[in-house]
């Protein structure tokens, strides 16, 4: 966890996630968190700053995670969100996609999905999109 705006802004921070299993093994993915003044009554705004080929994260970094939207409850916390993000990398969900192309490939051809993830993580093109190296 880092605080890019310094110790005077603890409501804005970044978290790196490094999956130790699954399709994204070995990658490092950076997420920015913006915590609202009315937290915990409103979920933090979370964006993925690492461009990633993933069914639940679009190419602009928007994240599809239920606890960041309709399933947020004030009893949840930052740690719960980090665990949820980690879970997206170990168990990507093609049934609730933001990146519909990646979701369709995961659903219909998991071997091709795995190949696309590796190509993206090592720095390369998947379709028309270039992904910087994150491994």
Q: How far apart are CA 35 and CA 22, in angstroms?
A: 29
48 an active-site residue?
no
As a whole number, the mean pLDDT across the chain is 97
- Band of residue 135 on the pLDDT scale cut at 50, 70, 90: very high
Residue 120 has what pLDDT?
98
Lowest mean pLDDT, pick from 1-5, 44-48, 50-54: 1-5
CB of 28 within 8 A of CB of 16? yes
Query: Six-digit token pair at 67?
Result: 């606890």
72-79 average pLDDT score: 97
Task: Please give the pLDDT value at position 123.
Answer: 97
Residue 133 CB neighbour total at 10 angstroms: 10
User: Residues 113-122: what's their mean pLDDT?
Assistant: 98
**Of the listed 35, 46, 64, 105, which one is catalytic?**
64
Contacts of 29 (CB under 8 A, 6+ apart): 16, 17, 18, 19, 48, 50, 52, 85, 89, 134
pLDDT band at 121 (very low <50, low <70, confident <90, very high): very high
Query: What pLDDT does residue 7 have?
Result: 87
């Amino acid at each position: 966890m880092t605080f890019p705006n310094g110790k005077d802004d603890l409501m804005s921070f970044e978290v790196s996630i490094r999956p130790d299993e699954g399709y994204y093994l070995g990658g490092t993915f950076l997420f920015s968190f913006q915590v609202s003044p009315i937290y915990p009554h409103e979920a933090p705004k979370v964006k993925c700053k690492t461009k990633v080929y993933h069914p639940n994260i679009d190419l602009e970094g928007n994240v599809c995670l239920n606890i960041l939207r309709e399933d947020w409850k004030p009893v949840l916390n930052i740690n719960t969100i980090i665990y949820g993000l980690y879970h997206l990398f170990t168990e990507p969900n093609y049934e609730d996609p933001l990146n519909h192309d990646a979701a369709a490939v995961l659903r219909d051809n998991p071997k091709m999905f795995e190949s696309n993830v590796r190509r993206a993580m090592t720095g390369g093109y998947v379709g028309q999109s270039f992904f910087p190296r994150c491994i």
